[in-house]
Structure 1
Amino acid sequence: MPGSSLLGPADVRRLAAEVGVRPTKKLGQNFVHDPNTVRKIVAAADLSADDVVLEVGPGLGSLTLALLPACRALAAVEIDPVLAARLPRTVAERAPGLADRLTVVEADAMRVTADRFPEPPTALVANLPYNVAVPVVLHLLAELPSLRTGLVMVQSEVADRMAAGPGSKVYGVPSVKLAWYADARRAGPVSRSVFWPVPNVDSALVAFTRHDPLSTVDQKVLFSLVDAAFAQRRKTLRGALSGWAGSAAEAGRLLSLAGVDPGARGEQLGVREFVRIAEVSSSR
């Protein structure tokens, strides 16, 4: 794909001015304007020619234009109606031979449903708005079982939390909930200088690969357990889960049945231990 078809800094500012878009903190908009960065993201996503890519928040189309040659089809979910309307035209102007691969879905990624997509997406690749990154990823993994892999750009601290393992200081609710669906890892830093406007936080890439279901236990039961376990991090699980289980004594009983030390704390448990507790609770 010729480099000229990708958006550079001048292109991004011109397009933004044309559609009257001023990046807002509320929507977490920071547009990538560096062609080398989007090329690196696409390479790191390791897509196959058969992949159906889901991009969230395509904005002005910087990443979209780099993704289109690397996949069979791309569905771009955009909440901003002005940006959603402009994207197909941008692709038609800069990559006319690939325009038929693009579908724009004007929707909130936090609420989008599987029936909005022409075919089931297999890979998520996105520069996610920082304020909703984790909920968006969890919603899409739950809603789209077809989603097998992902590579998302998020705030650096969020990347740490998403990829953290038990015992880490930043291990918590996002780490466990993502681990329920997929194996995640940090996939490299992203410079602040590639964005317009320049954000006041560092960014990083997180890659994940969905694994086989860990259990048939109800996800809502598991997630409520995880929320309770981390709500009061200083408490032992026996104490932290007393409200969730009905009493401290019942929490201790369930933990013992699951083979988990009631004196342990939430950050010491991996997702499989949480699954065992949820399974024991569900069989009461």
Structure 2
Amino acid sequence: MARPTRVSRALSQNFLADPRAAARLADLAVSDRDALLLEVGAGKGALTAHLVPRCRRLLAYEIDERLVPALTTRFSDTPQVRVVAGDFLQARPPRTPFSVVGNVPFSRTSAIVDWCLRAPALTDATLLTQLEYARKRTGEYGSWTLLTVLSWPRYEWRLVGRVGRYSFRPVPRVDAGIIRIERRRTPLIAPAALPSWRRLVELGFSGVGGSLHASLCREHRRHRVDVAFRRAGLDRGVLVGEVPPEPWLRIYEVLFS
């Protein structure tokens, strides 16, 4: 009998052990059966097995070389699955539309999300992350992060589910959240305007002045900023993290019209 593979702390491994949670994640991830699907960190194949009947093309990436042989053997008779040995973050994004799904190592979440957002052909990503990360990125705490606001014209962020920590082996210290990032079919801002959007948002998050209003007044006339705040329905003393993405869009319309 083969000895079980020891968990790698360096790779931040927490294997999904709850079949119901795996099936739910697969359901949320696959919206187009014919689309190319990339799985991050296939591990022992717990999620992969639930993805197989839901998709026709699946690239299952696994960085831990100890797990690859068994993973390859498990899906050797499944033609739509190709196991890829190596680091997902080093992979070249496909040129055709594709989706990403995975039980993401908590320590690598930010890097994997950045990879997804940089991929020109990505349509959506459904990721099982640390619950706190998922809540912060989707405004569940009543506050919004720089990354979410910056990417909002092109991507919608949603918290679509929660998975308790006892669904993993070994059991992590915290629960997990299922975050879904979807590329908008029509961007809320024209691509040519994205650099000015970035400048505005980064200025607002600079923290200079103690409030969003004060930060924006560093580069824009106070009268125009006042008009923008009224259009957005914001108080002049509001802190930058308290402002959802939609009011940011109203501010942008006034200051860059």
| TM-score bracket for this pair, using the shorter chain length | 0.7 to 0.9
**Runs of 4+ off more than 6 Å:** 276-283
State the distance in 1 between where 2:107 and 2:208 align: 23
Structure 2 residue aligned with 1:29: 13
- Provide Cα deviations, 1:154-183, integer angstroms capped at 9, x if missing partner: 111111112217xx5332224324523322
Structure 2 residue aligned with 1:3: none
State the distance in 1 between where 2:182 and 2:164 align: 24
Provide TM-score, normalisation by structure 1: 0.72
Given the superposition, is the C-alpha separation of residues 234 and 140 from structure 1 closer, same or farther in structure 2, using an over 3 Å criterion?
A: same
1:80 is aligned with what amino acid?
Answer: D
Q: Which runs of 5+ in 1 are unaligned?
A: 1-10, 242-247
Structure 1 residue aligned with 2:219: 250
- Provide Cα deviations, 1:188-235, integer angstroms capped at 9, x if missing partner: 211211211100011111233321222224656644653453353982
2:237 maps to 1:259:
no
Q: Does the CA contact (< 8 Å) of 1:23 and 1:30 recur in 2?
A: no
State the distance in 2 between where 1:157 and 1:113 align: 29
State the distance in 2 between where 1:107 and 1:234 align: 46
Q: CA deviation at 1:281?
A: 8.3
2:136 maps to 1:161:
yes
Given the superposition, is the C-alpha separation of residues 190 and 16 from structure 1 closer, same or farther in structure 2, using an over 3 Å criterion?
A: same
Q: CA deviation at 1:254?
A: 10
State the distance in 2 between where 1:177 and 1:71 align: 31
2:160 maps to 1:187:
yes
Matches within 5 A, 1:134-153: 134-145=110-121, 147-153=122-128
Give the secondary-structure state (helix, strand or coil) at the position aligned to 1:139: helix
State the distance in 1 between where 2:89 and 2:227 align: 33
Provide TM-score, normalisation by structure 2: 0.78
Q: Which runs of 5+ in 2 are unaligned?
A: 231-235
1:73 is aligned with what amino acid?
Answer: R
Give the secondary-structure state (helix, strand or coil) at the position aligned to 2:52: helix
- Percent identity of the aligned residues? 27
CA RMSD across the alignment:
3.4
Q: CA deviation at 1:53?
A: 1.1
State the distance in 2 between where 1:79 and 1:239 align: 46
2:12 maps to 1:43:
no
Q: CA deviation at 1:31?
A: 0.6
